[in-house]
Structure 1
Amino acid sequence: MSDELILCAECEIEIDFDEAYEVNGDYFCEDCYNDLFVICYGCNEVIYRDEANEGANGKLYCNDCWCERFTSCVVCNEILYQEDAYYYDGEGYCPDCFNERFAICDVCGEAVPYDEVLTDDYGTQICEDCFNESYYRCSDCGRIIHSDYTYMNEDDDDEIYCRNCYEEHRSRVIHSYNYKPSPIFYGEGSLFLGVELEIDGGGEYQDKAEAILDVGNEDNEYIYIKHDGSLSRGLEIVSHPATLEYHINYIPWKQIMEKAKKLGYTSHDNGNCGLHVHVSRKAFGKNEDEQDTNIMKLLFLVERFWDQMVKFSRRTNSQLDRWAKRYGLAKPEEILERAKGSGRYYAINLENNNTIEIRLFRGTLKYTTFIATLQFVERLVKMAINTPVNEIQELTWEKFIEGVSGELKAYLITRHLKEADQIIPELDERDAEEIRKFVNQLLDASASDLEVA
């Protein structure tokens, strides 16, 4: 013990020099020293207790040593070793707070806020930058897939699929609504008709669709089948483009319709089904101006004979307003202007690039009605193409149907769109009495205005 006494810098009591604690040139008694100071657990330097920082291990550190070793969660303030913390945008998080807010990108390993991460039902988590650089979503199942493992169905609007969904699509006979295979043209010439026939009531079943395809495509690939969201339990039968002659003589429409009926489908009697006929735009002319002129005349014909069109279509006015509205009678050029860009649900739809679509007709599984409809469409188109604008504005219905034959002639009589007597002189290969009986049967059948299927 020294004889020298000094005063404690804090409490000012006399203490023996040898028992005093010196800090930065000041001396403290033991009690004051312990109250005011601690030893940094990192560097062993004496630091003021109120300037010390507690580490994740419960020890006290000077500011420099603490910052070298620890961080605190920006959310809950938990102290963490730096290597145990998770970081995003320069800020540290404890595991719980981080996992509540962020995902780790499976590709680059960077943290991504949950509201910005892209996920799928298979556990994949990926940031937007990585996705945009090399990844896609499967159009069917939503799986996130690398571009090296994508499959594309070029006949299905270039949709992208994973391997499993691609294989399923290849084996599926009911295609999606957007399915558009490369067209196969049947017949000679430029006036090709493509049919969309809606059938309902039998269900959207692969085996039933396959049974219809087996009948329709026995000799060639004439038809395919699509889903149609407007049908509750049905299908849409779509043909590849063919000339009228080819539809009548080669595509087995009668057998297709009989098979559909046996499988429990209806069309006319369902009330919601349509028969849409696509006409190749090239039939209307070699260039856009020529095509527009002839399409304009077709639009005018439909509007000029709208009352007859309604009768022929077998649709009600409310059905036409919903699925096949009219543009309204006006000068031919005005109707064309109205039609362009008006949308799909008009009697004549001009929205397609390569075809115009005639949407007037109610669906049918009656073969003669179906063929009469195709004959009627061809007559409309040829009349529009071959009749000058000034003459078409003066055309009468009687002149329009003059010279019709076959199923179309018989159908016009059943719909009271042609006088029955007019058919007799024009058919020279039948006995007149037998023809009268045939016409009377048609008239009797039309009285109820019903079709079978």
Structure 2
Amino acid sequence: MTTPVDDIVRCGDCGNATTTPVHISRWQTVCDDCADLYHCTSCGLLSYTTSLTDEEARICEHSERTGQYSTCDRCDILLRDGHLCRAHTLGQAFTCNGCSDSVPLRRHDPLPATCDRQLCPACAEDFDLCDHCDLYDDELRGTETGRELCPECATELGYYDCEDCTTLIDSGTYCDDHRDDDDDVDGLHGYSYKPAPVFHGIGPRYLGLELEVNVPYGHLSDRISDTNDTLNGLGYLKEDSSIDYGFELVTHPMAYRWALASFPWHLLDQLDLAGCSGDGNGLHVHISRAAFAGPCHVFRWMKFVYRNSPAVQTLARRSSGYAAFRDSERHNIKRSCKGTYWAPRDSAINTQPGHTFELRVFASSLNVRHVQAALAFADASVAYTRDLTVTDITARGGWTWPAFARWLRTRPQYAPLTAELEDLACAC
């Protein structure tokens, strides 16, 4: 059967005759071979070139120009609204740098529209919240403590790569998975060594001492041996990157009264006579979380320490970036007590350990009274704030340093702290 001439159409693209023309528009018709086209979802016309949108639609160039579409920064898919803005922080309203809109954002809110960075929903799923700054990022890195940090925060907090993997660590050479504590030499354990705790004395208010000690060059092995012999299992020695040549002496948890009576205090004199020192290093006291009556007690204690930072630093004999009193931590004490805020590890009070609070403020020392006063302050400050009432705080200045000093004078068990305060002239 012969096809009528009237049904034969010339392809507007290749010029060949076709009996099954495809009408692209009122002005152009093409053959099947050239009809590798798509219907534009927006205007309904066929088009050679279409672009995929975030809604899996295809639009022509004209619709793309007139529809106010933008392109995902990662995959080139078209989208009407962006989904991510690095300038938006949880719980507060921030202004988008591009459109000047103020957008409040909470943790479970959808990602906001932005003029800073345009992302389609599929790409936005790769972004998550940094555990330090609470901002979205697609390059989060895991730390050996389980936190996820963006590159900026990892750098700011002093993290770096384990030499055997990509896990972020903040001290030492290897992460826990690649550190071989069986290779400990002469009784000096690796940084992450943490045996099962042995509790001494009556709790639940237990204290753990960490004392960083410098050792004269060439004498490390002897001092390690002597110190371990004297400790007799009460503590152990660890490496620490902040010590040029020496060790960190770590005790098992001790009740304060037990520590005063039973810790081998003559060990500090022995180390001092052997030329060791605490110069330039820190003394940290871990306080068991079980010592606190609840979140309100933690709040009163942390508030007391931060409100009296000048007196605390005088007592501690140092003001250090390794034990910083920052406004950001002071303003977020309530969130820290609730477990919704991760203060940096180098804060005056490190809240990251799971079972303790680490009071990091003190300068290291081999002076017995200095160390006893540090333990006494840790214990006394927790005991003092335990029963503080609103009336005590508002009407009697309960959060002030003089009120604390008056309370101390009636408790002779804290004599090392009282004597230290009197010598430092910060007891009144």
Q: Normalising TM by the smaller chain, what interval? A: 0.5 to 0.7
Q: Once the two structures are superposed, what CA deviation does each residue of 1:302-353 show, in whole Å capped at 9, x if it has no partner?
A: 122111112111003xx2x343333465596367579930221011110000
Once the 2 structures are TM-superposed, how far is the Cα of residue 392 of structure 1 from its aligned partner? 3.6
**Structure 1: which 5+ runs fail to align?**
1-139, 143-155, 420-453
Report the residue type matching 2:276 in the other structure: Y
Q: 1:377 to 1:166 in 2, by over 3 A?
A: closer
Once the 2 structures are TM-superposed, how far is the Cα of residue 261 of structure 1 from its aligned partner? 1.4
Does residue 228 (structure 1) correspond to residue 240 (structure 2)? The answer is yes
CA distance in structure 1 between the partners assigned to 2:277 and 2:222 by the alignment: 17
Q: Note if contact 2:323-2:349 (Cα within 8 Å) is conserved in structure 1.
A: no
Alignment of 1:121-136 (within 5 A): none
1:197 aligned residue (187, 211, 216): 211
Q: 1:399 to 1:232 in 2, by over 3 A?
A: same
| 3-state SS of paired residue (2:326) | coil
Report the residue type matching 1:266 in the other structure: S
Q: 1:338 to 1:352 in 2, by over 3 A?
A: closer
Does residue 206 (structure 1) correspond to residue 221 (structure 2)? The answer is yes
Once the 2 structures are TM-superposed, how far is the Cα of residue 418 of structure 1 from its aligned partner? 2.3
Equivalent residue, structure 2, for 1:299: 302
Q: Once the two structures are superposed, what CA deviation does each residue of 1:93-148 show, in whole Å capped at 9, x if it has no partner?
A: xxxxxxxxxxxxxxxxxxxxxxxxxxxxxxxxxxxxxxxxxxxxxxx998xxxxxx
Q: 1:331 to 1:232 in 2, by over 3 A?
A: closer
Equivalent residue, structure 2, for 1:51: none
Q: Note if contact 1:174-1:209 (Cα within 8 Å) is conserved in structure 2.
A: yes
Equivalent residue, structure 2, for 1:280: 288
CA distance in structure 2 between the partners assigned to 1:182 and 1:231 by the alignment: 24
Report the residue type matching 1:206 in the other structure: S
Q: Once the two structures are superposed, what CA deviation does each residue of 1:8-42 show, in whole Å capped at 9, x if it has no partner?
A: xxxxxxxxxxxxxxxxxxxxxxxxxxxxxxxxxxx
Equivalent residue, structure 1, for 2:323: 323
| 3-state SS of paired residue (2:198) | coil
Report the residue type matching 1:315 in the other structure: R
Report the residue type matching 1:178 in the other structure: S
CA distance in structure 1 between the partners assigned to 2:298 and 2:292 by the alignment: 7
Q: 1:331 to 1:343 in 2, by over 3 A?
A: closer
Q: Note if contact 2:186-2:225 (Cα within 8 Å) is conserved in structure 1.
A: no
CA distance in structure 2 between the partners assigned to 1:263 and 1:276 by the alignment: 23
CA distance in structure 2 between the partners assigned to 1:180 and 1:335 by the alignment: 25
Q: Note if contact 2:181-2:190 (Cα within 8 Å) is conserved in structure 1.
A: no
Q: 1:306 to 1:168 in 2, by over 3 A?
A: closer
Once the 2 structures are TM-superposed, how far is the Cα of residue 166 of structure 1 from its aligned partner? 6.7
Equivalent residue, structure 2, for 1:308: 311
Alignment of 1:122-271 (within 5 A): 159=177, 168-169=183-184, 172-203=186-217, 205-217=220-232, 221-252=233-264, 254-267=265-278, 270=279
Once the 2 structures are TM-superposed, how far is the Cα of residue 399 of structure 1 from its aligned partner? 1.5
Report the residue type matching 2:223 in the other structure: K
Q: Once the two structures are superposed, what CA deviation does each residue of 1:70-98 show, in whole Å capped at 9, x if it has no partner?
A: xxxxxxxxxxxxxxxxxxxxxxxxxxxxx
Q: Once the two structures are superposed, what CA deviation does each residue of 1:207-264 show, in whole Å capped at 9, x if it has no partner?
A: 32111111121xxx11100001011112100000000011110110x22111211332
CA distance in structure 1 between the partners assigned to 2:212 and 2:340 by the alignment: 24
Once the 2 structures are TM-superposed, how far is the Cα of residue 388 of structure 1 from its aligned partner? 2.7
Q: 1:208 to 1:416 in 2, by over 3 A?
A: same
Equivalent residue, structure 2, for 1:417: 426
Higher helix proportion (structure 1 or 2): 1
CA distance in structure 1 between the partners assigned to 2:231 and 2:405 by the alignment: 31
CA distance in structure 1 between the partners assigned to 2:405 and 2:211 by the alignment: 25
Q: CA RMSD in A?
A: 2.9
CA distance in structure 2 between the partners assigned to 1:166 and 1:234 by the alignment: 18
Count of equivalent residues: 248
Once the 2 structures are TM-superposed, how far is the Cα of residue 176 of structure 1 from its aligned partner? 0.5
**Structure 2: which 5+ runs fail to align?**
1-161, 165-173
Larger Rg: 1
Report the residue type matching 2:402 in the other structure: E
Q: 1:333 to 1:158 in 2, by over 3 A?
A: closer
Large movers: runs of 4+ above 6 Å: none
Q: 1:172 to 1:324 in 2, by over 3 A?
A: farther
Alignment of 1:15-26 (within 5 A): none
Which stretch has the larger CA shift, 273-282 or 201-210?
201-210
CA distance in structure 2 between the partners assigned to 1:230 and 1:261 by the alignment: 20
Percentage of identical aligned residues: 26
Equivalent residue, structure 1, for 2:383: 382
Report the residue type matching 2:401 in the other structure: W
Q: Note if contact 1:325-1:345 (Cα within 8 Å) is conserved in structure 2.
A: no
Equivalent residue, structure 2, for 1:356: 357
Q: 1:157 to 1:224 in 2, by over 3 A?
A: farther
Q: Note if contact 1:297-1:389 (Cα within 8 Å) is conserved in structure 2.
A: no
Q: 1:141 to 1:296 in 2, by over 3 A?
A: closer
Q: 1:371 to 1:339 in 2, by over 3 A?
A: farther
| 3-state SS of paired residue (1:232) | coil
Q: Tell me the TM-score normalised to structure 2 length.
A: 0.53
Equivalent residue, structure 1, for 2:401: 397
Report the residue type matching 1:200 in the other structure: N
CA distance in structure 1 between the partners assigned to 2:332 and 2:341 by the alignment: 15
Q: Note if contact 2:306-2:325 (Cα within 8 Å) is conserved in structure 1.
A: no
CA distance in structure 2 between the partners assigned to 1:179 and 1:186 by the alignment: 20
Q: 1:324 to 1:210 in 2, by over 3 A?
A: farther
Q: 1:323 to 1:418 in 2, by over 3 A?
A: closer
